[in-house]
Amino acid sequence: MWNYSKTVMDHFLNPRNVGVIEHPDGEGEVGSLACGDALKLTFTLDDDGRISDAKFQTFGCASAIASSSALTEMIKGKTLQEAETITNKDIAEYLGGLPEEKMHCSVMGREALEAAIAQYRGAAPEKRDIEGTVICKCFGVTDNEIERAIKENDLTTVEQVTHYTKAGGGCGGCKNLIEDILDKLLESQVTEKPATKQPTGKLTNIQKIQLIQDTISREIRPALQRDGGDLELIDVVGDQVLVALRGTCSNCPASSVTVQDFIQGKLREFVADSITVEEVAQ
């Protein structure tokens, strides 16, 4: 059973703004009943160009309904320029988080909003072209959609891509293609965005923790996840970093080498020479 937040359950059991606006200024439809999730979003603008009303109709699970309900609340009172800056992460955060397996529901909300704004600006929703090459034929997911999800959410595994886009969640025949896209993007990120070495000057505790988290996300976690492992940051006490290994790393005979040589080495390279890393059981 999914671990839903209280906010998710509230928006699922008491959804806001259900329905369709007659003669809306903007209308967007994404998904399909055949794929198991579908969302129709409509909105109207006031004389100042702000969204005065928004309604939705959703076919899907609790997360899909809650994400759609939350989205309509989030965009009310905003200009289109303000509304189109809303990301799927923003929707998930508004709800107090979503299970990773349900993040595609927040992505669907963001896509419906983009479609509705595009329709208002002149792109008829029923004639919107599919951009990119279809990778997942089961759910009609394109390479552009997969690449966008990877970049915006820092995805590093095929499983994560499935959670955020549903690609690979049907027959599984496209997983090798998804893996190729991941490899290409991760390689380009290393080439195009070389990481900054450890900063000069004394760090505050908040700066140090943020830098440790950034280094783990950018330099450490992707390498571990490629081999089926992962890392959880447990605590930071002074210069001591407490971590727990997950996945295949947790049972690896060479885990001590991973902690001392790889994880500690990276943190000393990008944070501070005084960093020490200790593995704890969690």
Note the pLDDT of residue 35: 62
CB 102 within 8 A of CB 63: yes
Name the helix (H) or strand (E) containing 257: helix 255-257
Model confidence pLDDT, tens digit, residues 27-53: 999 986 656 688 999 999 999 999 999
**CATH level 3 topology of 6-127:** Sufe protein. Chain: A (3.90.1010)
The pair of three-digit structure tokens given for residue 21, joined into one six-digit string: 């606006």
Whole-model pTM? 0.63
Note the pLDDT of residue 132: 80
CB 153 within 8 A of CB 89: yes
Model confidence pLDDT, tens digit, residues 181-212: 998 887 776 555 555 566 667 788 888 898 99
The span from the CA of 79 to the CA of 77, in Å, is 7
Closest CA to 98 of 61, 73, 72, 58: 61
Closest CA to 59 of 30, 93, 80, 89: 30
Beta bridge partners, 50, equal 79
CB 44 within 8 A of CB 52: yes
Note the pLDDT of residue 129: 45
Q: Outline which parts of the chain fall under CATH 3.90.1010.10.
A: 6-127
Closest CA to 41 of 133, 115, 97: 115
CB 282 within 8 A of CB 245: no
Beta bridge partners, 54, equal 43
Q: Which residue has the tokens 């699922």?
A: 12
Q: Which residue numbers are catalytic?
A: 35, 105
Beta strands 276-279; 240-247: pairing state: parallel
Q: Outline which parts of the chain fall under CATH 3.30.300.130.
A: 205-279
Three-class SS state of 238: coil
All residue ranges of the chain with pLDDT < 50 are 125-129
Ordered alpha helix ranges (H), 127-174: 143-153, 158-165
Three-class SS state of 93: helix
Note the pLDDT of residue 204: 85
CB burial of 108-130 (b: ≥16 within 10 Å; e: otherwise) equals bbbbbbbbbbbbbeeeebeeeee
The span from the CA of 121 to the CA of 249, in Å, is 50
Note the pLDDT of residue 250: 81
Give the CATH H-level superfamily of domain 205-279: Fe-S cluster assembly (FSCA) (3.30.300.130)
Candidates 1.10.10.1100, 3.40.50.1000, 3.40.50.920, 1.10.10.10; CATH matching 134-192: 1.10.10.1100
Beta strands 51-59; 134-136: pairing state: unpaired
